[in-house]
Chains A and B, each alone.
Chain A
Amino acid sequence: MNPNWAEENIQVIRTLMERSTVYRRALAPVMTATGIIGIAAATLTCFVKIETAPSFGLFWIGVAAIALVVSFLFVRRQALKSDEPFWSSPTRRVTQALLPGFFIGFVAGVLCVTRFAPEGVWMLPLIWAFAYGCAIHAAGFFMPRGMKLFGWSLIALAAISLFGIQSLPDLQTAETAHYLMGTFFGILHLAYGVYLHSSEKGEHDP
């Protein structure tokens, strides 16, 4: 009898346990696409004036909706490609972990559209970054490779920006808010996506 069978069995058990707990689907393309969409949207605001609280809130909620749809399509495509159910246990767990943070972000966005004074717009990206960072950190418990650290990075950067901008009234503008959005949801996502792509490539190399 081949003595390797025991090792193979352990490997099968490990793989099954990981597959049912850790969400691995399409993380790199989702992060990269979100980053590109974020940067493109922030660049667009250099040419199109979006300065009032309602237009700012609606514009970025729209951008988030586009990023969500694109992410959904990537996840669905990989599920079909791998012949796996889309709504698998790990997908469900990650979605449940993300929802509270996303809900807070959505409520803040609605408040911005309906209640914020123009001079308060700069705070919305920070609220979104805090809420999104918490959501990503929670999802990180079911995801591999640095997801929790990515959540913490967003929270830490938002905190630093909050203290910085709070003490510099000149920066409390809609323009700053767009730059913050481009940084948090564009550059950071793109950087993490590139990191995931490069590390995945390394994992597959012989």
Chain B
Amino acid sequence: MNHEAFQNLDKVIHEKGRMAIMSLLAVTSEISFTDMRNDLGMTDGNLTTHIKHLQKAGYVGVTKSFRGKRPLTTLSLTTDGRTAFTTYIDTLEQIVQSARSGN
């Protein structure tokens, strides 16, 4: 197993909930908080905590607006977030490759 690659894994993304959030954001230009919560089956509190983590790391942008009279929170991936997610997947693939070759 490639320990160096494992050490390189982004610890912010390397968590089940945050990995799911990043995966969803990677394929949608933007998504509302409610849709994200429904799609991932998370609670409001859980999702808020993960979003704060990702926002702090600069990976996720949060926009607050209004749809009619109702507040709307929209989430999107930042450029840094997209780069970090791509790097994370590349590192995972590297680990898989090295596990297959028995290193």
Binding site for B on A (CB under 8 A): 1, 3-4, 6-7, 9-10, 12-13, 16-17, 19-21, 85, 88-89
Contact = CB atoms under 8 A, between A and B. Distances in A.
Nearest to B37: A85
Contacts of A13: 19, 23, 89
Given A1-B1, A21-B27, A9 B38 contact: no
Contacts of A20: 23-24, 27-28, 39
B89 A10 contact: yes
Nearest to B91: A6
A82 to B, nearest CB: 11
Contact of B31 (A4, A12, A17, A89): A89
B84 interface: no
B26 interface: yes
Contacts, number: 49
A3 to B, nearest CB: 4
A10 B92 contact: yes
Contacts of B95: 3, 6
B92 A89 contact: no
Contacts of A88: 35, 38-39
B89 A16 contact: no
Contacts of B80: none
Contacts of B99: 3-4, 6-7
A93 to B, nearest CB: 9
A90 to B, nearest CB: 9
Interface in B17-44: 19-20, 23-24, 26-28, 31, 35, 38-39
Given A1-B1, A16-B24, A85 B39 contact: yes
A143 to B, nearest CB: 15
Contacts of B1: 1, 3
Instruction: For the complex of A and B, list the 8 residue pairs with the smallest distance between their C-beta atoms, beginning with the closest.
Output: A3-B99, A16-B23, A6-B95, A85-B38, A13-B23, A6-B92, A21-B27, A17-B27
